[in-house]
Amino acid sequence: MTALLTTNLGATPLLGRGKVRDLYAVDGALLMVATDRISAFDHVLGTGIPDKGRILTQISLFWFELLRDVVPNHLITTEVSKFPAPLQAYADQLRGRSMLVKRAGMFPVECVARGYLAGSGWKEYRASGSVCGIALPRGLEDGSRLHEPIFTPATKSEGGAHDENISFAQMGNTVGASEAAELRRLTLEIYERAAAHAESCELILADTKFEFGRTAEGILLADEVLTPDSSRFWDAKTWKPGGPQPSFDKQFVRDYLEHIHWNKQAPAPVLPDEVVERTRAKYLEAFRRLTGRELAS
C-alpha cells in the first residue's frame, strides 16, 4: 500500500496545506482533501499511514449524518462525479478522502468537550485543581471520569503550535457572549450524543474538539468531526484511571518516537513498517467499531 502525502490538482487554487488536509478553492466552495500525512510532537512526518485520510473522512461523514438533527454541517457532497468538471481528472486522488464544503466564517476558537480527565486537562488540573477556570473535585486521577462533561475552549494555534486552553469568559471576549453560549451548548450536546453512541460500541469518548463556522444560514459544524485525530477514544473494557489510557490514534507513532529518543526537531525519522501497520490497524479498528462498516474504496 502507498500513502498519499501530497495532492496536486493542477490549476485548482491551493489555499493551504495543514498537518493532514489540503484545502482548495472550488467555484465559491472549498474542497478539503484528507491526505495520509501524520504528525507527532508538532511535526509532520515524512512517513504516511496508508488509507488514513480515507478513514478520517469516512468517520466524519458517519458523524455528520448521525448529528444532523443536532446541528447543520458544511458538507455539500463527497461524490467526485458531482465535483466541478476540472476535478474529474484527479478522481483517483480524491475518491473516498475529499469533501466539497460550504465556505463559512470560522470562529477563532477550538470548542473542546471533556468527559474524562486526560492530556492538557490532566496537566492543568494537577497544577491548579481546575481546567479552563472550572474547579474540579480533589483526588481525581489521570483518566478519571468527570461528574459531568465540561466545556473547555482553546485558542486556534498558528503554524502548528499547541492550542492554548482559555476560560469561557475569555472566549466570550473573543466571539461575543451569546455566540460563546451557543457554541458551548452545541458542543456539549454533540459530545453527549457521540459519547452515548461510542459507549454502545464499547468505546469511551474521553474528549473531543469541534470547529464551527457561520454562514447566512446560521452556525455550521465544520472541518473533521469525532475522528481519532480530533478525539480520544479508549476501549471501555480496558479503561482504568491512574495513568495514560491506550487510545485509537497515533499512539504507536508517539511511543516509537519516544522509544528512539527523538529530539523532536526536524527532520523527523522514518517510521518502520511495523509502526505504520499497527497505526493503520488502530485507525481502522476505530472506524469499524464506530460505524459498523468496512472502509469504502
* pLDDT computed for residue 162 by the predictor: 64
Residue 258 has pLDDT above 80, yes or no: yes
Cell 512517513, residue located: 47
Residue 113 has pLDDT above 70, yes or no: yes
pLDDT tens profile 134-160: 999 999 999 999 999 999 999 987 655
Give the rounded percent of residues in the chain with a pLDDT score beyond 70.
98
- Lowest mean per-residue pLDDT among 28-37, 97-106, 163-172: 163-172
* pLDDT computed for residue 161 by the predictor: 57
* Mean per-residue pLDDT, 230-251: 95
46 C-beta neighbours (distance < 10 Å), count: 14
* pLDDT computed for residue 12 by the predictor: 97
Among residues 48, 45, 113, 9, the alpha carbon closest in space to that of 283 is found at 48
Q: Where along the chain do its domains lie?
A: 1-103, 105-235
Contact criterion met (CB below 8 Å) for 98 and 80? yes
Residue 297 has pLDDT above 90, yes or no: no
* pLDDT computed for residue 165 by the predictor: 92
* Mean per-residue pLDDT, 179-187: 98
- Which one is the CATH code of 105-235: 3.40.718.10, 3.30.565.10, 3.40.190.10, 3.30.470.20? 3.30.470.20
Contact criterion met (CB below 8 Å) for 170 and 149? no
Judge if 1-103 and 105-235 fold alike in CATH terms: no
* pLDDT computed for residue 59 by the predictor: 98
Record the pTM. 0.94
For the domain made up of 1-103, the CATH class stated in words is alpha beta
